[in-house]
Amino acid sequence: MTRNINITEHDIFNFVFFNELLDKKKRKYIERNEDKFELLDFYRKQKKSITGSIKEETQKRIAARIPAYKINKD
Amino acid sequence: MRALEKDYSYYRFFTKLCEGEYTAGELNNFIERLFKIGESFLYHRFSRIKNLVDSSQDTLEEIAIEAIAPLFQNANYNNHFNIVDDIRNWNPPIKTENESLFFLNKIISNRVEQHISLMLRESDPFFSKILDSVNYLIRKGAYKKVSYLGKVYITEPDNSNINWIVITDDEFNRIPTYLFCESKILLKSLLYFIKTETQYFPAIPLNELIFRLKHVNLSDYLSSDSVNDISDKIEIGEILNSALSFTEDKLKSSYLDNGKLTIEEYESFKSALKSLAADIGDGGINPSLYNYLAPHINGLTKEEYKEKYHNILEYLLKQLKRKIAEQF
């Protein structure tokens, strides 16, 4: 199969997180062919979840495994 | 519970981290973000690991934490965390916010995937053995291993950058079986097929390949240089049955015949061993052995299991795995 465009993992990441940085031609291509790019769904979910809440129980687990992490008592 | 702030700069914190000038609160915030990235990747890969973990949120959290923890250990030769070396050594050098978050995605997805591979190796002796053989084929043919969202793909010797969409697991599992039956030309044939017969970048997902091989024909991949007659081919089912039978004999002679287990307990252990063998054949075992025995002993608590039965089941599982490995 021949194609005249390259789309890397970083391009798909940029499409979701830093859309304005993506080359216009690539952006248009991804927009028109979203169903081909499985990674879009992953990065979109991550973008939503990355600022989500951290439970106290999770904080305790992190602190138990990573000594540099100190539970914030505020 | 508290949410993480939306207006956050990874690049700014990288600078502080590298200079050692940050507050405990800033470091906490950063670690929590890395945890979230790790967790998102685990959800993405859940279909591959669901057999290996308790399906609880707790276990996924523990894996995500385990995957990022080494980044915050101090490097041996200075007081920096390991992640500082990763940031400084990343190529191309990180200079923007975009590159910072992409870098974090790459290293965390790689670490989570390494953790998943380790779990697969430990829980499935077939997986481990076939992986060794495929790694030999990769080295021998000078193929490349390339990470794409953490997953490892095998690419052609002169093709180490994936710049197009990769084959989905479902599509890979639809590749004709005959292409998996000749180990000497296995990688070449698969890459050629993907290149010429599909729309995807010529790259083979390594773990999916191992699972596919496991169910195609085991014997061809146990010794990549050997030529096996079709009559010598070994089926996974035969190996599992033989290993299960051996382990059941061990259970009887070591625990039933000398009165260490009652006949009811013996039957329960036999059922648990059958489930363990089935899971080994089907993608790997769950690390909580309690889950295998509990359905067969009414009202068995975790405490009672730990006190009375865990050592026995763990010993029998070792025997089962050893017997499987011996038949390769």
Using CB atoms, pick whichever of B6, B65, B163 lies closest to residue A8. B163
Residues B282 and B202 in one domain: no
Residues 121-160 of B with CB under 8 A from A: 148-149
B99 with B164, same domain: the answer is no
Instruction: For residues B155 and B64, state if they share a domain.
Output: no
- Do the Cβ atoms of B36 and A8 come within 8 Å? no
Per-residue pLDDT of chain B (328 residues; tens, 9 = 90+): 565 666 789 999 999 999 989 999 999 999 999 999 999 998 888 777 777 766 556 688 898 999 999 999 986 666 789 999 999 999 899 999 999 999 999 999 989 888 888 888 888 888 888 888 899 999 999 999 998 888 899 999 998 889 999 998 889 999 998 899 888 899 999 999 999 999 999 999 999 999 898 877 655 555 444 434 333 445 677 888 889 999 999 999 999 998 999 999 999 999 999 999 988 887 778 878 999 999 999 999 999 999 999 999 999 998 998 888 777 6
Provide the pLDDT for residue B211: 87
Same domain, B220 and B147: yes
Which of B232, B259, B279 marks a domain boundary? B232
Domain end among B88, B121, B154 = B121
State the total domains in chain B.
3
How many CB atoms neighbour CB B194 within 10 A?
22
Does any CB of chain A come closer than 8 Å to the CB of residue B199?
A: yes
Average pLDDT in chain A? 89
The tokens 């290293």 sit on which residue? Answer: B107
Q: Do residues B283 and B246 share a domain?
A: yes
Q: Please tell me whether residues B192 and B294 are part of one structural domain.
A: no
Q: Is residue B152 domain-shared with residue B218, that is, in the same domain?
A: yes
ipTM value greater than 0.90: yes
- Which chain B residues have a beta carbon less than 8 Å from that of A69? 27-28, 31, 72
Same domain, B16 and B101: yes
Query: Which residues on adjacent β-strands are paired with residue B145?
Result: B154
Q: Are residues B99 and B150 in the same domain?
A: no
Q: Which of B65, B161, B164 lies closest to A65 in CB terms? A: B65
Does B156 share its domain with B225?
yes
- DSSP state at residue B96: S
**Minimal Cβ distance to A13: which of B65, B102, B165:** B102
Candidates B213, B197, B184, B105; CA nearest to B151 is: B105
Q: Which of these three, B232, B253, B281, is where a domain ends?
A: B232
pLDDT tens-digit map of A58-68: 999 999 999 99
- CB contact under 8 Å between B195 and A65, yes or no, is no
- Residues in B touching A7 (Cβ below 8 Å): 163-165
Nearest chain B residue to A66 by CA: give it: B69
Contacts of residue A49 in chain B, CB cutoff 8 Å?
Answer: 36, 39-40
A9·B148 Cβ contact <8 A? yes
Q: What phi and psi, each to the nearest 5 degrees, are found at residue B3? A: -90, 155
Tokens representing residue B195 in the block = 């290149």
pLDDT value at position B60?
84
Query: Residues B246, B273: one domain?
Result: yes
Asked whether residue B2 is assigned to any structural domain, the reply reads no
Residue ranges making up the domain that contains B207: 125-232
Give the pLDDT score at B224.
45
A6 CB neighbours in chain B (<8 A) are: 163-164
pLDDT value for B125: 84
CA B194 → CA A33, B171, B210, distances in Å? 20, 10, 17
pLDDT in the model for residue A74: 53
Residue B3 in domain: no
Sort out which chain A residues have CB atoms less than 8 A from B81's CB and list them: 68
Calculate how close chain A gets to B64, using CA atoms only, in Å: 10
Is residue B1 included in any domain, yes or no? no
Cβ A69–B40 below 8 Å, yes or no? no
* Chain A interface residues (partner B, CB cutoff 8 A): 1, 3, 6-10, 13-14, 17-18, 21, 36-39, 42, 45-46, 49-56, 58-59, 61-62, 65-70, 72
Residue B44 touches chain A, beta carbons under 8 Å: yes
Token pair of B256 as six digits: 């039933």
| CA-based torsion, A29, A31, A37, A40: positive or negative | positive
CB contact under 8 A, B102 and A56: no
Residue B205 inside a domain? The answer is yes
Of B8, B102, B164, the CB nearest to A10: B102
User: In terms of domains, do B261 and B212 share one?
Assistant: no
Q: Which two tokens stand for residue B10?
A: 């990874």
Cross-strand pairs, B146: B153
Cβ <8 Å between B31 and A7: no
**Angle, in degrees to the nearest 10, between helices A56-65 and B24-44:** 100
CA distance B156 to chain A (A): 16
